[in-house]
Amino acid sequence: MSEEKINLLGEKIEFKTNKSKNATKPRIDVDMKGIRVVTPEGDQTNPEELIRNNARWVLDKKDKYEKYWRKAQIRIFEEGEKFPYLGLPMPIHLENVSENKISNSRIVLSKSKVEKSSIKEEIEKLYREKARDLFTDKVQKYSKQIDVDYNKIMIWNQRTRWASCSSKKNLSFNWRLLMAPEKIIDYIVVHELAHLIEKNHTKEFWNIVEKYIPDYEQREEWLKENGIRLIFTKDDLSGGEIAWENKL
């Protein structure tokens, strides 16, 4: 893969070129990794010409990702720093307690546990535990209202989706959602439970969601606009399509 520079509509940009045996036609990829021109092996397309012919689209996509980058939060894992929990910023406290917990709008971590690992690791463990409890409660509540059966509830660490519903009726949720307001979690739970009735995003599917979350469109828009703020570390932004793009 080679790197090149180009002046595009008055803006200097960098892009990479790559020959791929899996590519069926020339394409331009614009994502968190930057700009790439991918062409099939043996293809004679001029990468610079391809970019110039799609200049406005390239710059618009580039601007979109840069704006999202600026929204990304740089987490500082130190005592006294604030960390989001159910949409509220809570300060981190280290105390002589046996277990990590959320108490009096604070994230209380066990000093002895932190000494053996780190603040970052202990917060993640705490959020995973809280996520399992909260999503279990939410799924039980809404599954009764919607009158659907599910199999298992799983809490995962995937960076590319917020949640999913499998053909075996297993529900999976990203623990990072514990950083979002509770009403967003309600929406995501109902969204996945609705997939137990209607697999695709049809009109019937959205009618089910709307019945239980009347303002679901506003909540989905919040997730699209603010999902980038729910990253744990900037490592979560590695890869192309990522969680904050609202993949459900």
- In tens, the pLDDT along 107-147 reads 999 999 999 999 999 999 999 999 999 999 999 999 999 99
Q: Using one digit for the tens of pLDDT, what is the confidence trace for 51-93? A: 999 999 999 988 887 776 777 777 899 999 999 999 999 999 9
Mean pLDDT across the stretch 154-159? 86
Split at pLDDT 50, 70, 90, the class of 237 is low
Q: What is the mean pLDDT of residues 97-104?
A: 96
Alpha helix stretches (DSSP H) within 101-213:
111-116, 119-146, 182-194, 203-212
Predicted TM-score (pTM) of the model is 0.75
Residues in Cβ contact with 151 at an 8 Å cutoff, skipping those fewer than 6 apart:
168, 169, 170, 171
Domains in the chain and their CATH numbers? 2-71 (no CATH), 127-245 (3.30.2010.10)
Contact call for residues 51 and 4 (beta carbons, < 8 A): no
Q: What is the mean pLDDT of residues 16-40?
A: 88
Q: Residue 190 above 80 pLDDT?
A: yes
> Residue 184: pLDDT band by 50, 70, 90 thresholds?
very high
pLDDT beyond 70 at 23: yes
30 HSE (CA, 13 A, CB side):
17
Helices (H), the chain: 47-53, 55-71, 111-116, 119-146, 182-194, 203-212, 216-226
pLDDT score at 243 = 44
Least confident window among 119-128, 146-155, 213-222, 226-235: 226-235
Percent of the chain with pLDDT over 90: 67
What pLDDT, on the 0 to 100 scale, is given for residue 99?
Answer: 96
Tell me the pLDDT band of 247, cut-offs 50, 70 and 90. Answer: low
Predicted confidence at residue 241, as pLDDT, reads 42
Given a contact cutoff of 8 angstroms between Cβ atoms, the answer to whether 246 and 227 are in contact is yes
Q: Are residues 87 and 219 in contact, defined by beta-carbon separation less than 8 angstroms?
A: no
Q: What pLDDT, on a 0 to 100 scale, did the predictor assign at position 244? A: 40
Gap between the Cα atoms of 220 and 162, Å rounded:
12
The per-residue pLDDT of the chain, averaged, comes to 90
Nearest-10 crossing angle of helices 203-212, 119-146: 100
